[in-house]
Amino acid sequence: MVSDRPFYSVREKRMDLMIQETDLKVCYPKAKVRRGNGMLSVDMRVSGPAYRQSYRIGAFYKPNVAPLVFILEPNILPHPDIHMYSDGHLCLYDPAHIGYRKRFSMAREIIPLTLKWMTYYEAWLINGQVWIGPETAHGIRVTAEELAYWERRRAA
């Protein structure tokens, strides 16, 4: 039987957000981390010898909700082959294997998975658009209208 009790109490949510914020600031001191309205946002730039270009990441975390990560720069068109949903957030893990109630560590799980995604994306650009990263069938679908929207947004 599933309990109707919330997974996190209000106090636990506040504590979780404070811990996540502190951990992110320790692990990624140049990241802009903001906490408010019951959620945490991260804006950070990643560059280095492992990447051909600089990336700007936007990540959002709310207790008891799956975190969302977007590549803000460069503007990348959503495509199922690169494990990006039609709204632009990245597919970093298989939710069926994790469970919706898992407590994620943004600094130690989600950001490292994002860095791996960027590495796989760069390999995809180089090797003829073949995804070499792990994957599972999860039904990412991008419609022609959504692709057109992202192409217009990218051109702007």
**pTM, two decimal places:** 0.77
Write down the pLDDT at residue 32.
97
Buried b (16+ CB within 10 A) or exposed e, 53-84: eebebbbbbbbeebbbbbbeeeebbbbbebbb
**90 in a structural domain:** yes
**60 in a structural domain:** yes
**150 in a structural domain:** yes
DSSP for 69-133 reads: EEEEES-----GGGTB-TTSBB--S-HHHH-TT----IIIIIHHHHHHHHHHHHHHHHTTS---S
Percent of the chain past pLDDT 90, that is, above it, reads 38
**4 in a structural domain:** no
Q: Which of 23-37, 72-86, 96-110 has the lowest mean pLDDT?
A: 96-110
**65 in a structural domain:** yes
Write down the pLDDT at residue 98.
58
Closest residue by Cα to residue 82 from 48, 28, 119: 119
- The answer to whether 106 and 67 are in contact (CB under 8 A) is yes
Write down the pLDDT at residue 1.
42
Q: Give pLDDT tens digits for 41-65.
A: 999 999 988 888 999 999 999 887 7
Q: Range of 65's domain? A: 10-155
pLDDT(73) > 50: yes
pLDDT(97) > 80: no
Report the C-alpha gap between 130 and 120 in whole angstroms.
9
Q: Report how many domains make up the chain.
A: 1
Q: What is the domain-level CATH number for residue 18? A: 3.10.110
Write down the pLDDT at residue 155.
52
pLDDT(91) > 90: no
Question: In this structure, are strands 39-46 and 32-36 parallel, antiparallel, or unpaired?
Answer: antiparallel
Backbone Cα Rg of the chain: 17
**3 in a structural domain:** no
Write down the pLDDT at residue 54.
93
Q: Give pLDDT tens digits for 109-141.
A: 999 999 999 999 999 988 888 888 776 655 544
User: Quick one: average pLDDT of 70-99?
Assistant: 82
**Average pLDDT, rounded, for the chain:** 80
Percent of the chain past pLDDT 70, that is, above it, reads 76
